[in-house]
Chain A
C-alpha cells in the first residue's frame, strides 16, 4: 500500500481502535503555555490524577508577558497571576519550564524547533491553534482546547478521528522579495479560509523543497487560517541539518538511526490524496490582506477589491462589512493606504531569517514620521543572535523599537495594543476584528513588506 506522510505518522501512533469510538492517538510532545493550561492542571489536581509523562511535556510563557523591561513587575494582575500559576504548576507536576528568566524563553512554536524538541515523524500538540507550525519538520502537529490539554496531560493520548488528506503542489521559482508569507497568503486566497476544513494539508512541490526551514514554518503556521487543523512538509536533508546538534536532538549513532527512519516518512510515489491542487507561483507578487479575514488577500501593487463584484452573496456581505470596519474604499490603491503602526513579530515571522530580511530593507533608512514600528523577536535566543549580527542597531537606528520576545501585538493580550481605528502592517497571522486591540485594523504582510511600509508610512511593495 502506498502511503502519505500523514498516514505513516498516523498509523505509527494509534494506540488502539475500538468499534464505536475514535482511535486513541499517542502524543510524543506536549507544549504548554500560560493561557490554556491553568484549568487543565487544576483538573488533574481535582481528579487526583498524575501528569503521565512530564518528560514529554514542556512549558513556556509567551502570550501575555510584556516585551519591555522584564525586570520590572508585571502590571496586569491577570497576566501576572497566569504567569505565577504556570511557575507553580510546572514545579508541582515536574514539567520543564522556560520561564521569564530563561535565556531560551520564547513563543512556544518558535522554541520547540529551536531546542530540537520538534522532530520529524512526531505527534505534537499544544493548547494553541498555531501548533501546525511544527508540521514543517514532517511531524503531525495540531492545536486543541483546555479539556484536551488535560486529556493529554493525564493519558499522553487523545481520542482522534482521522482527517482527510489534501496535497497542495506548489511549483515555480519565487521572485525577488516574494516570500513564504506571500505564498501562504496566496494559498489561502485560492482555497479560502475553509478550504482546508476537515483536512490535513501536505505542502509539496519544487517551490516548497526550495524553502528554508524557517520559511517552511511560516507556511505551515497559517494552515489553520486555511481551515486545516494541521499542515505538513516532508522532511529532507534541510530538515535533518536543522535538527542536528540541537539540545534535545538525538546524538551520534542515535541521530544516524533517526535520519534513516525520518527518510522513510515522505509520501510514497503514487499514494492517493482526497484532494490535490497545483499552483504555479512564478509570477506571484507580494500579497497583503485588505479585510478582516485571512482569505481577504490582494496583490500589494493592486487595488482594494470591490465586494459588489463577488458572486457569493455571503462573501459580498462579509466584504462590505470588512471594508467598513477597515475604513477602506473599493478600488482604492493599496499603495495609498496609510499606516499608524508596523509590527514585525509572531510565530509566523519572528525568526532570525525574518529579522535579517526586514533589516536588509531598513538598513540606513528611517521609519516615516508618525509611524510607530516595533520588532519583537520570537525567542530570547533569536534576540541574542540578532544582536550579535548587529540587526538590533539597524532597527533602532531606523527608529524601530527593539523588544524582548513574546506574542506581543499578534494578539495584544500584553500591553502591546492598538487603539481603536489604528492601522497596522503586521507580519502575524490573524487580521480579525479587534485582534490587535478593540477597533484595530490589521494588514497581514511579509517582513520585507512590513519593513518597506514602515519607511514610507503606507502599505508598500518591497520590490520598489
Chain B
C-alpha cells in the first residue's frame, strides 16, 4: 500500500447527508473481476444522465472540481453495506482524503485499508473550510497526517484526531499484508525449521 504522509490537492464539496455505498457504487458494478477501474462508476446514478452523458448538475462534474482529491462530505458518509468496492471506487477516481462530520464504521476502516485518510471534523470546524472552497474555484487544502493538521491559504489551520495505530500504518503504507510481511524473516525461519 502507498504511504500517506501529507497530501495537498483540490477540495470538492459534496453537501449531502447519508451518502450510502449503493450511491457511491451501484450494485450492477460489483460483478467485475478487477479491483481497479471502479472510478468511472463512482456516484454513477448521480453523475450520468440516462443516456450516459455527464449530468452537469452533479457537483463533481463542475469544471472547478476537476482533478479534486479531497472530498468534503456530509454526515454519515459511506453507510450501507460493507462492500470494499466503495473505497476502491473513491480511490480509483483520485480521492486521497475525505473529510466529513461522521462516517459509517466499516467504511471508515476500509478507507485506511485502501490508502485513504478519512477525517472527522465537527460541523463548526468544517463550515469555514466549505465556505472557502465554495468561494474560491480550484482551492487547495493540505492534510498533514504527521502533524494531524488541515491547512489552507490564508488562514485555515485545523487539527484533527486519528487513532495512533491507524496513523502509523498509513504513514508507513502498511496494510494487513504489509504488517505480516514485516515478519517475513520469521516465516522463512519457520519454513526452514519445519522443512516446508
Residues A371-416 near B (CB distance < 8 A): none
Residues B124-177 near A (CB distance < 8 A): 175-177
Contact present for A42 and B34 (CB under 8 Å): yes
Contact present for B187 and A155 (CB under 8 Å): yes
**Is B121 close to A, CB under 8 A?**
no
A157 to B177, CA, bound (A): 9
**Is A417 close to B, CB under 8 A?**
no
**Is A28 close to B, CB under 8 A?**
yes
| Complex contacts, B35 vs chain A, CB 8 Å | 39, 42-43, 46
| Complex contacts, B180 vs chain A, CB 8 Å | 24, 151, 154-155, 157, 159
Contact present for B187 and A47 (CB under 8 Å): no
Contact present for B186 and A15 (CB under 8 Å): yes
Q: How far is the CB of B33 from chain A (nearest CB, A)?
A: 4
Which segment of A77-85, A126-134, A203-211 sits at the interface?
A77-85
Q: Which residue of A lies closest to B113 (CB)?
A: A147
Contact present for B176 and A147 (CB under 8 Å): yes
Contact present for B181 and A154 (CB under 8 Å): yes
Contact present for B34 and A38 (CB under 8 Å): yes
| Complex contacts, B181 vs chain A, CB 8 Å | 49, 154-155
A12 to B177, CA, bound (A): 22
Contact present for B183 and A16 (CB under 8 Å): yes
A281 to B1, CA, bound (A): 53
When A38-B34, A46-B35, A46-B36 are in contact, do A147 and B183 touch as well, CB less than 8 Å? Answer: no
A12 to B35, CA, bound (A): 35
**Is A214 close to B, CB under 8 A?**
no
| Complex contacts, B183 vs chain A, CB 8 Å | 15-16, 24
When A24-B183, A156-B187, A157-B187 are in contact, do A151 and B33 touch as well, CB less than 8 Å? Answer: no
Q: How far is the CB of B89 from chain A (nearest CB, A)?
A: 13
Contact present for A82 and B36 (CB under 8 Å): no
**Is B59 close to A, CB under 8 A?**
no
| Complex contacts, A156 vs chain B, CB 8 Å | 187, 191
Residues B54-80 near A (CB distance < 8 A): none
| Complex contacts, A47 vs chain B, CB 8 Å | 1, 175, 177
Contact present for B36 and A15 (CB under 8 Å): no
Contact present for A159 and B176 (CB under 8 Å): yes
| Complex contacts, A154 vs chain B, CB 8 Å | 177, 180-181
Residues B24-38 near A (CB distance < 8 A): 31, 33-36
A42 to B33, CA, bound (A): 9
**Is A150 close to B, CB under 8 A?**
yes
Q: How far is the CB of B114 from chain A (nearest CB, A)?
A: 10
Q: How far is the CB of B174 from chain A (nearest CB, A)?
A: 11
**Is A240 close to B, CB under 8 A?**
no
**Is A199 close to B, CB under 8 A?**
no
From A15, A26, A28, A81, residue with most partner B Cβ within 10 Å: A15
A15 to B194, CA, bound (A): 10
**Is B20 close to A, CB under 8 A?**
no
**Is B84 close to A, CB under 8 A?**
yes
* B88-126 to A contact mask, C-beta < 8 Å, 1/0: 000000000000000000000000010000000000000
| Complex contacts, B176 vs chain A, CB 8 Å | 147, 151, 159
When A15-B183, A15-B186, A26-B196 are in contact, do A155 and B177 touch as well, CB less than 8 Å? Answer: yes
A39 to B88, CA, bound (A): 11
Contact present for A49 and B186 (CB under 8 Å): no
When A15-B186, A26-B196, A147-B84 are in contact, do A81 and B33 touch as well, CB less than 8 Å? Answer: yes
* A9-43 to B contact mask, C-beta < 8 Å, 1/0: 00010011000000010101000000000110011
A26-B191, A157-B187 given; name 9 further pairs at CB < 8 Å: A12-B194, A39-B33, A46-B36, A47-B1, A47-B175, A147-B113, A155-B177, A155-B181, A159-B180
Q: List 15 A-B contacts (CB under 8 A).
A: A12-B194, A15-B183, A16-B183, A26-B196, A38-B33, A39-B34, A42-B35, A43-B35, A46-B35, A49-B177, A78-B31, A82-B33, A85-B33, A154-B177, A159-B176
